[in-house]
Amino acid sequence: MKLCLSDSSVRHSYFVDGLPVEAAMKSCRQLISRLLPLRKSSTLARVNASSGHVEVQEEQGSPLKYPQVWLRDNCQCAGCFHSATRARKSHWERGPLNIGVSQVGFNQEEQQLEVIWQDKHRSTFDIAWLRERDFGEAARKRYLQEVYKPPAQLWGKSDFEAVRREFQYQDVLQQKAVLKDWLEALAVQGFAILKGAPNDINVAKHLAKRIGYIKRTTYGDVFEVKSKPNAGNYAYLMTPLPLHTDMPYYEYKAGINILHTLVQSESKGGANTLTDGFYVASQLQKQHPQDFEVLRSVPVNWFDIGHDGDDSKPFHSLWRAPVICLDADGGFARVNQNTTKRDSRFSVSLEQAVSWYNAYDKFLAIAQSEAVEFKTQAGDVFVFNNLRMLHGRTAYEDAPGNKRHLVGAYVDWDIIYSKLRTLKFPNAKD
């Protein structure tokens, strides 16, 4: 029979109950699989006797392994899972800890793992769905790197030309593929430069909207960087601006900084400085592990008191956090550094304060030795990860008819990663 079915010359020559034999066989197999859902097939399912995990062994590769409690927690049946909202319906009050597997099997016809539970509940799981949720190390790593966050590529001064990425402003606005590449560069290299933006104070706002939503701060929707009389912020002077991150005094610190150059200074200065704070932290960890530990653990008071403009509301921002913040996996999450926004109130012990200054000095020395310098031109938009990059500028002098003028805006990483995933996986369902 198998030979007949694979021979196209006779495939539709036989009929059963008016159906071509192939279709009849399929409905027959489906009927059998409904009657005998736990029959054996070339893919095998079993409960591992020692670990208790459910294992699915396909014809090739290592077995896929799942905890019983996870399978029950993620039962896809209509009673347990609301597919329209991709939401778990069951187990709201307590976890499904005490319900064990009674029987497992693999339905070859439907390509599904079938589970009968001790309380007689039945679950089925598509093999493709299971593969995507494999607990194996390689599969977990792949998901985290491809879907969660692209891994950062740390760089030092000598790598700058190799990691520098440029895009055309209009391409980012008009082409989804370029938008994706730009956001990926921000995630991986930590910065990128857009060329050819018009002489329009709304460019930074347009880019924020292209990603999703602008982040409003105490400095407004957008902020203008130019020398101002009665400046309320050190950035609004013509003095050199030391390497720093913006807004360390925010718990929800701005994710990226979009800096559009409308007018660049014709004086010698006004150049951008930039260094990869994660790279600096990694070098500190290698060269001075004890100092790294101090900067990772001692909280610093970051503050900002004032008001922006004459008519805006006064603010008093304050956030305590170390210079180097790690994530749940021990990776670099955020670097805080801003000499002008570091509070003279240092709410740690005398001993911690002294060891912190020693460690901080080493961090700054590496940051400065690894910093690059370049000067944006009118029409350039310099965009960088504000959780990672330290940026600054050299001193400059305005002249009549040449007043350096930048417009900036912020966007949060939650919004950026979300946009990036919708561009990479437009058909994602769960």
- Comparing CB distances to Zn ion, the nearer of 75 and 225 is 75
φ, ψ for residue 81 (rounded to 5)? -135, 130
Q: How far is the CB of 73 from Zn ion (least distance, A)?
A: 10
CA 113 to chain centroid, in Å, comes to 32
- Comparing CB distances to Zn ion, the nearer of 77 and 428 is 77
Let me know: does 226 contact 198? Beta carbons within 8 Å: no
Rounded-to-integer distance, Cα 57 and Cα 64, Å: 6
- Comparing CB distances to Zn ion, the nearer of 91 and 209 is 91
Q: How far is the CB of 124 from Zn ion (least distance, A)?
A: 9
Largest interatomic CA distance in the chain: 93
Rounded-to-integer distance, Cα 379 and Cα 139, Å: 43
The secondary element (H helix, E strand) that includes residue 132 is: helix 127-132
Rounded-to-integer distance, Cα 87 and Cα 215, Å: 29
Q: How far is the CB of 99 from Zn ion (least distance, A)?
A: 10
- Comparing CB distances to Zn ion, the nearer of 77 and 231 is 77
- Comparing CB distances to Zn ion, the nearer of 25 and 116 is 116
Q: How far is the CB of 77 from Zn ion (least distance, A)?
A: 3
Q: How far is the CB of 102 from Zn ion (least distance, A)?
A: 14
DSSP-based three-state secondary structure for 44: strand
| Secondary structure E strands in 21-62 | 44-47, 54-57
DSSP-based three-state secondary structure for 129: helix
Q: How far is the CB of 80 from Zn ion (least distance, A)?
A: 3
Q: How far is the CB of 79 from Zn ion (least distance, A)?
A: 5
Rounded-to-integer distance, Cα 160 and Cα 370, Å: 10
- Comparing CB distances to Zn ion, the nearer of 133 and 210 is 133
**Counting Cβ atoms within 10 Å, is residue 430 exposed (0-12), middle (13-18) or buried (19+)?**
exposed
Q: How far is the CB of 121 from Zn ion (least distance, A)?
A: 6
Tokens 């007949």 sit at which residue? 4
Q: How far is the CB of 139 from Zn ion (least distance, A)?
A: 24
Binding site for Zn ion (CB under 5 A): 75, 77, 79-80
- Comparing CB distances to Zn ion, the nearer of 74 and 376 is 74
DSSP-based three-state secondary structure for 312: coil
- Comparing CB distances to Zn ion, the nearer of 75 and 127 is 75
The secondary element (H helix, E strand) that includes residue 66 is: strand 64-66
Pairing of strands 191-195, 166-168: parallel
Record the tokens describing residue 411, joined without a space. Answer: 């966007």
Q: What is the 3-state secondary structure (H, E, C) of 352-373?
A: HHHHHHHHHHHHHHHHHHCCEE
- Comparing CB distances to Zn ion, the nearer of 80 and 318 is 80
Rounded-to-integer distance, Cα 73 and Cα 95, Å: 8
| Secondary structure E strands in 108-199 | 112-117, 122-126, 166-168, 191-195
Q: How far is the CB of 87 from Zn ion (least distance, A)?
A: 13
- Comparing CB distances to Zn ion, the nearer of 8 and 92 is 92
